[in-house]
Structure 1
Amino acid sequence: MSFFPDAKQFTISRGSFTHVEGNVNHYNIQVDPQDNLEELERSISKGLETLAQQAVLGASHNAEQRFPPPKCHPGTRAHVLKTLRRWVRSKSKPTSIYWLYGAAGVGKSAIAQSISESFSTTDLAASFFFSRTDPSGLRSTLAHFFITLAYQLAVSPLSSPILNKSITHVAYSRPDIMHASLETQFQELIVQPCSQLSPEQVNILPRLIIIDGLDECIDIASQERLLSIIRQAKSADIQPPLPFEFLICSRPEPRIRNAFGHRNFRDILDCTELGESLQSGLDIAKYLRDEFRMIQQGHGLAMAHVAQDWPGDHIIQQLVQRACGQFIYAATILKYVGEYHALPTEQLKIIMSVTVPEQTDSPYPDLDLLYMLILHSAIDMQNLQLTLPSFPNTTHVPYGIPPSTSPTSCVMLENLFSLNKGKVGALLFGLHSVLNIPENDHTDIGMYHASFGDFLMDPKRSGRYFVDSRGEVMAKYRAFYLLRCFSITVANTL
């Protein structure tokens, strides 16, 4: 049956049509295309707004919060990068999860960043870089993880045309999903929208999700929980299967290792260990040579009298041996030597003059010695030890207090510890190789690498520089927040 036989090139707005046959109504159709379009646009806009409010925008590979991100020095890590790129590009690989693991400071995050950038315009679906040193605390927890992935999938130029409408519709129609369990968020924001795709859409969907620093999620149980969610999604016999592949980078902590040891990971997991090797030594040597050359050029006249091949192969090889495969050791040395307030040749001479004791229980003796050397340059050790525990990775925000209000700027620390204006900047002078100290006094101070926080909180490694985050500092920390909460409450009642 047709209402308008042979009709062409006409439109109907707000039409209502009824076909009557006998005493029975067969059709009652009301059409308002404009209303439907407006509702769709509203759901997309509101859903995206809801996701953006809850997503951790600083966790992605290209986030401003992480600038400048660590990435592989040109010409280094060639073998592992080639292996990972081949794995990503392969369309017929049996495994859908790749675990890249290694000790602190070996360069896992740099590799994850380099892979993210390599595939940012082709295969990268989403990325999340965990960090215990994040001043907001949001990158050290799993609470917003799946919301963040869903948001990235909804806005990425690669996946947005395919997944935007379905993901934002869930966020719009079910705002309670933001507070649902992680398992529910994963199913409704990611799994179900993907299950509605056609085979053609799945074929053009970016597949790679990169998760870096899983061990820096401070709740150990959450680390296992995330791996369990991924394992169940990838090993379950569901149709259609979840289209994503995961590159996961972490330290080989016991519970992470045990989680990956589950029998259902066996057939879907590839893994590579990063550690001390001949190739890593060659890579660190190249990194040191290139950066020492940049330091020499950057200091101009102060280094004009120095030989072109400074500091020479002998020194380079000694530093490589001390690094033991840890790029963080080399990076910290370069920051220390390259500080503009000092002469690079003298800074390097200081480093080379100290040696590790023959008997030490530290797993990272040379790195610990380097950190001690840097801390020794502090002008006022008593006040420095008072303020150090306030930085991310050495403190635990009291229960119920938003991590994003953590007092880690110069101004906040001076108020908290009753220090004169400018005192914190003076205390931290000379620590730029381990701390990211912004020029703006109101911007958070952070650690360049979690290994520095680990060093400070281990009394066997840090000795007299040990930071006890449970003592006087935490008492002041809690008092500060109680007063802040009280002042906010009073202000809201006026």
Structure 2
Amino acid sequence: MTPKSKPTSFKPSLRWPWSKKHKSGRTVGQQTALEDQIPVEQADLAEESKIARLQPVPIGPMQVALPTVVSLNTAATSSSEDRRLEDPASRGASSSTSALKIEQAMTSSAKASSTFFPYASNFVVNSLQVHASQHESNSNDPGWERLLQDTAPNALHDSKHRFDPPKCDEDTRVEVTEELMGWIQDRGSPQRLLCMTGAAGSGKSALQQTVAERCSGLDILSSTFFFSSTDPTRNTASDVIPTIAYQLGLNNRALREAISAAVSKDPLIFEKSLKTQMNKLIVNPIEDFSRDVSKPELAALPYAILIDGLDECIDEQRQAELLATIDDCLLENETLPFRIFITSRPEWAIRSALEVTGHLHQKAYHIQLSDQYDASGDIRRVLWRRLRDIGRRSGDPRALSPSWPSKEDIETLVANASGQFIYAATVIKFVSERRSSPMDKLQAVLTWTPEDRAQPFAALDLLYTSIIMQAASPT
């Protein structure tokens, strides 16, 4: 047992609990005169535990027994060659490294002894063990972090920036939705690309959203990308492949590691062509994965890739490049599990690819939405259901009548819509505004009937024009 030393006149300049705290919980400024007064009687850091043994130190009126065992175990040095610390007196000048480690141990000990009982005096702390372990984060993944910088979160089907996205109402678009889901789930059909074209407002995005949610519920949704010409984060083709790769990595740990490794190997991959990105970030990882797993495991991988609004990609040449990349990298490779569903207006890029001489003519299943499906029945059901709901929630007793809206009113609106869901959606939004009676709003819409019904968008043009003029009117 070590005898108590004679108290010294030393007054420790410790900063006690009112000292400034560091974010990590350490007390800043506690390495003061206390450490300078600590004599090291003996230091012996063993190979396995690296233990530094420190003796009690007298400080003023209180006897403080510093930690007898301080374990220094760091992940960064655990694999390096262990070094035995001998008595510093026997090592001379060659012990600088050991002395540094001992000093670090002493500093940790001083901190522990001065912060455990900040308001106590005349106390003795014996046999205290402090294990200072530091481990590098296993989540440090620079390749994956770099990938995230080039993804487009707004383009995901469940992005918060697309809150309450358009989707099919109950009992609407039943036939076309069943056809789409049937094609996606029929993995034996030779055509692995489905292109749906239709005019603006025909309901393509609502169908795509509905299909995405159903595929997600079935655990077959691999990835989605919803273009928008008004959102600069998702109106170019540059972020399409990184965003698809990100979602692939979320679905499978092995794919995530392979994708991350590809980015780490070539940090400039996102400056390369779409074809190079597709091969390095999607095709190669999937091929490597398929060689390491059984066929059932590969078949269990989510496989539906959905791309909405290709026409809203601001560069037609990039639209064409994306279609060519999908053809060359995904469709030509029959070992890949993907089935791809793309929607677009019939603009130049997709129209030329799907025509008889186009490179996708034989490879894609083409649905022309406006021509193949009469949406009038669905529009009728949506208008009736939504307008009745607006009437029930309004304060106008006239709109609560079972006769509102009348059958004639609904048929007039259906005729004006000409199969375009966007017309019905615009009417519903206009009538639902709370500034006036929904009955009066609907009556105003019914008076805006175009004379030329041969033009399918004439009613929509007139509707928009009338709404804008009414909003601009001072009354």
Alignment TM class, shorter chain as reference: 0.5 to 0.7
Task: Give the corresponding residue for 2:221.
Answer: 124
Residue among 68, 77, 80 paired with 2:164: 68
Contact map agreement 1:72 1:111 (CA 8 A) in 2: yes
Task: Give the corresponding residue for 2:376.
Answer: 281
1:375 matches 2:468? yes
Task: Give the corresponding residue for 1:310.
Answer: 404
Contact map agreement 2:222 2:303 (CA 8 A) in 1: yes
Task: Give the corresponding residue for 2:258.
Answer: 166
Residue among 152, 158, 161 paired with 2:247: 152
CA distance in 2, matches of 1:174, 1:278: 47
Task: Give the corresponding residue for 1:55.
Answer: 151
Contact map agreement 1:108 1:249 (CA 8 A) in 2: yes
1:103 matches 2:195? no
Task: Give the corresponding residue for 2:21.
Answer: none
CA distance in 1, matches of 2:137, 2:266: 15
Task: Give the corresponding residue for 2:276.
Answer: 184
> Per the alignment, do residues 277 and 194 of structure 1 end up closer, same or farther by CA in structure 2, a change over 3 Å counting?
closer
1:138 matches 2:230? no
How many residue pairs match? The answer is 339
Aligned pairs for 1:80-479 (under 5 A) are: 80-121=176-217, 122-134=219-231, 137-155=232-250, 159-198=251-290, 199-200=294-295, 201-236=297-332, 238=333, 241-261=335-355, 262=357, 264-275=359-370, 279-299=374-394, 301-303=395-397, 306-358=400-452, 364-379=457-472
> Per the alignment, do residues 323 and 358 of structure 1 end up closer, same or farther by CA in structure 2, a change over 3 Å counting?
closer
> Per the alignment, do residues 380 and 319 of structure 1 end up closer, same or farther by CA in structure 2, a change over 3 Å counting?
closer
CA distance in 2, matches of 1:267, 1:357: 42
Superposed CA deviations along residues 154-207 of structure 1, whole A, max 9, x for unmatched, are: 12xxx2234111112222332211222222111111111111023434211111
Question: What SS class does the counterpart of residue 377 from structure 1 fall into?
Answer: helix
> Per the alignment, do residues 233 and 268 of structure 1 end up closer, same or farther by CA in structure 2, a change over 3 Å counting?
same
CA distance in 2, matches of 1:278, 1:264: 26
Give the deviation of 1:352 after TM superposition.
0.9
Superposed CA deviations along residues 336-375 of structure 1, whole A, max 9, x for unmatched, are: 0110111111111111112214499x65100000000111
CA distance in 2, matches of 1:276, 1:303: 41
Aligned pairs for 1:6-85 (under 5 A) are: 41-42=139-140, 45-85=141-181
Superposed CA deviations along residues 415-436 of structure 1, whole A, max 9, x for unmatched, are: xxxxxxxxxxxxxxx9xxxxxx
Task: Give the corresponding residue for 1:472.
Answer: none
Give the deviation of 1:62 after TM superposition.
0.4
> Per the alignment, do residues 305 and 56 of structure 1 end up closer, same or farther by CA in structure 2, a change over 3 Å counting?
closer
Q: RMSD of the TM alignment (CA)? A: 2.5
CA distance in 1, matches of 2:286, 2:266: 18
Question: What SS class does the counterpart of residue 396 from structure 2 fall into?
Answer: helix
Unaligned residue ranges in structure 2 (runs of 5+)? 1-77, 82-134
Contact map agreement 1:153 1:164 (CA 8 A) in 2: yes
CA distance in 2, matches of 1:84, 1:248: 11
Larger Rg: 2
Give the deviation of 1:213 after TM superposition.
0.4
Amino acid at match of 1:130: F
CA distance in 2, matches of 1:55, 1:65: 14
Amino acid at match of 1:196: D
> Per the alignment, do residues 296 and 277 of structure 1 end up closer, same or farther by CA in structure 2, a change over 3 Å counting?
farther
CA distance in 2, matches of 1:303, 1:220: 52
> Per the alignment, do residues 277 and 354 of structure 1 end up closer, same or farther by CA in structure 2, a change over 3 Å counting?
farther
Question: What SS class does the counterpart of residue 247 from structure 1 fall into?
Answer: strand
Question: What SS class does the counterpart of residue 352 from structure 1 fall into?
Answer: helix
Give the deviation of 1:266 after TM superposition.
3.7
Question: What SS class does the counterpart of residue 328 from structure 2 fall into?
Answer: helix
Give the deviation of 1:309 after TM superposition.
3.6
Larger relative contact order (CA 8 Å, sep ≥ 6): 1
CA distance in 1, matches of 2:311, 2:399: 46
Give the deviation of 1:244 after TM superposition.
1.3
Which structure's residues are more often helix, by fraction? 1
> Per the alignment, do residues 84 and 143 of structure 1 end up closer, same or farther by CA in structure 2, a change over 3 Å counting?
same
Amino acid at match of 1:146: I
Contact map agreement 1:109 1:249 (CA 8 A) in 2: yes
Question: What SS class does the counterpart of residue 371 from structure 1 fall into?
Answer: helix
Task: Give the corresponding residue for 1:489.
Answer: none
CA distance in 2, matches of 1:305, 1:112: 34
Contact map agreement 2:417 2:459 (CA 8 A) in 1: yes
> Per the alignment, do residues 38 and 187 of structure 1 end up closer, same or farther by CA in structure 2, a change over 3 Å counting?
farther
